Amino acid sequence: DQVLQGRLLKEHKVKEIIQKEKKEEEIIDEESIREDLKEGIQDEILHGEVDNEEQQEGDEVGIADEQSGVQSGQQSEDRFAEAMRHGLMEPDVEITEYVGTEAGFSGILKERRKETLSIYILHHILTFAKICLPAGCAMRWEKGRPKYCRFAVYKENIDTNAVFLSVRPCDDRVTAERMVALNRALPNARVGNFQYVPRPLRLGDLQGNHFTIVLRNISGSKEQVDKAMCSLRDVGFINYYGMQRFGTTAIPTYMIGRAILRDQWDEAVDLVLKSRPGAERTHTIRCREVWTRTKDSRAALKELPDQRGVEAQLLLGLIHHGKPGPAAFSSISRNTRLMYVHSYQSLLWNRAASLRRHKFGLHAVPGDLIQRGGTVVVLGKDDEEETSINDVVLPLPGYEVKYPTNCVGDAYRTWLAEDGLQPAQLRHRVRDYALAGTYRSLIVRPTDVTWKITPYDDPNIPLMPTDVDIMEGRSIEPFPAEGALRALHLAFSLPPASYATMAVREVLKMDTSIRNQSQLNSKLPSCRSYSTMATPTSV
């Protein structure tokens, strides 16, 4: 009886911690939002454990605290540089091939400076709705008003998930009047364009994304740039999963996913919690050190003042369930857990895409998988001449997909076997980790492609107005007729789940990882600390 009572008491205490955590998350307080976003975003970058394909281009950046002065800004810069020194580069995740054979040129995609310099502007293309939240009872609800509040989000240097953690309503419903008050609390983010609609945003509403990008300090001639951009427009790029899919730390997310699929729960837990090279927040470092040294969940948890992160969630699960396993691991949010196993699938897809491009070039060959309407078939010799490379798809490994019948299909099975897996084993006993598999186009050809080269002299001036600049009537300085530096303005649209960084990679023929970009930045004249501007908005 005493043992049972002790166990019940322990479970009760853990439930109290979890309930307290949930209540804290639901409090919409302007000061706490500011502090959470300022302190939490950089930590999220260093962990690299967020994968949101609609945020995917440009969210691997930190935010400098302007109010803390130059010294604090330099410390933030040093932490970022140290973290990126141990970050992944493209060959680490099997990104090795290009479509075009023309010479590349250098350009800075992610520039770390004070002003709005290297810019991503992302517009989501939706068939029906913008982002929707249930509307309602925080203020008087008018009779006959539609059920959902639709609105647009503008953000700079903030992860999409961080914004929605802040805008999530305490009540089941929330009015536009209440939502607009968040503009006073959200740093570098705005909500607006409110409209009440009868249905929420649903899977399938997203048709694609339109990107407007500035690449600074390009080295290529106009002829080189035009040739590369025409190739991107007319041929396309290899549809690799970008670096964001795999995290930014020395421990990539696919390693955790592989351990999960092999039911190696001790290893999966340790990969999430153990110490790693690179800079992190002080309390996270202490937590990892305690775990690595003692494997004591309670002692490690005490080092985390904020118990909303992945590490804290996992430690709470270990305390509650007593040992590593599916139950303890399920204390991590479902999206994050799925991201781990999907990252492993993505790694094998990238590897297969590189092999396919290297072996067979840009022509469909017998044994390839071809997408025809909603059906995937194996290409035979009789149809080879009539089939385009744009019809070729590769599978994300799973228990329900077909595999190519040429050497690429054999390679899938070899890679899985080397990792101790077989395609049939991907029907995992834990339903969340059961991977049926799907198909992804090998080559993607962007639409709405435009570009121009702009000369400039001052590396600290913005080269493109943001949506907020346009809304508030702010203009940028006119460009000089000639300048010591040149920037490439490019814009294009991509289907859902395709990465703009991979399109830019095809143009530049260079590594787009933050690690490589930070090395490029280190060669530029010194300037005050800046974190890359990323400004997605919905249309």
Whole-number pLDDT of residue 461: 81
Neighbours of 392 (CB within 10 A): 24
Residue type, 384: E
Whole-number pLDDT of residue 265: 95
Whole-number pLDDT of residue 42: 32
Percent over 70 (pLDDT), the chain: 71
Higher pLDDT, 354 or 175: 354
Whole-number pLDDT of residue 173: 63
147 pLDDT more than 70: yes
Residue 137 pLDDT level (bands cut at 50, 70, 90)? very low
The average pLDDT across 36-53 equals 34
Residue 517 pLDDT level (bands cut at 50, 70, 90)? confident
85 pLDDT more than 50: yes
Whole-number pLDDT of residue 488: 94
Neighbours of 479 (CB within 10 A): 14
Exposure string of 487-502, with b = 16+ CB inside 10 Å and e = fewer, is bbbbbbbbbebbbbbb
Mean pLDDT over the full length of the chain: 77
The average pLDDT across 44-73 equals 33
Q: Computed over its alpha carbons, how large is the radius of gyration of the chain?
A: 24
The average pLDDT across 343-354 equals 97
- The Cα 241–Cα 316 span in angstroms is 32
Q: Are 354 and 97 within 8 A, CB to CB?
A: yes
Higher pLDDT, 317 or 86: 317
Read off the pLDDT of residues 361-379 as tens digits, 9 standing for 90 and up.
Answer: 999 999 999 998 889 999 9
166 pLDDT more than 90: no
Residue 111 pLDDT level (bands cut at 50, 70, 90)? very low
Whole-number pLDDT of residue 14: 53
The average pLDDT across 346-371 equals 96
Higher pLDDT, 343 or 197: 343
Residue 37 pLDDT level (bands cut at 50, 70, 90)? very low
Whole-number pLDDT of residue 161: 65
Q: Which pairs count as long-range contacts for 232-235, CB under 8 Å and 24+ apart, including other chains?
A: 232/100, 232/446, 232/449, 232/492, 232/503, 232/506, 232/507, 233/445, 233/446, 233/449, 233/492, 234/445, 235/99, 235/100, 235/362, 235/443, 235/445
304 pLDDT more than 50: yes
77 pLDDT more than 80: no
Higher pLDDT, 32 or 199: 199
pTM of the prediction? Answer: 0.76
Higher pLDDT, 32 or 269: 269
Whole-number pLDDT of residue 239: 97
Three-class secondary structure of residue 530 per DSSP = coil
Please tell me which of 65-69, 157-161, 526-530 the model is most confident about, judged by mean pLDDT. Answer: 157-161
Whole-number pLDDT of residue 168: 55
Residue type, 292: T
179 pLDDT more than 80: no
The average pLDDT across 475-494 equals 87
Residues with active-site annotation:
171
Residue 52 pLDDT level (bands cut at 50, 70, 90)? very low
Percent over 90 (pLDDT), the chain: 44
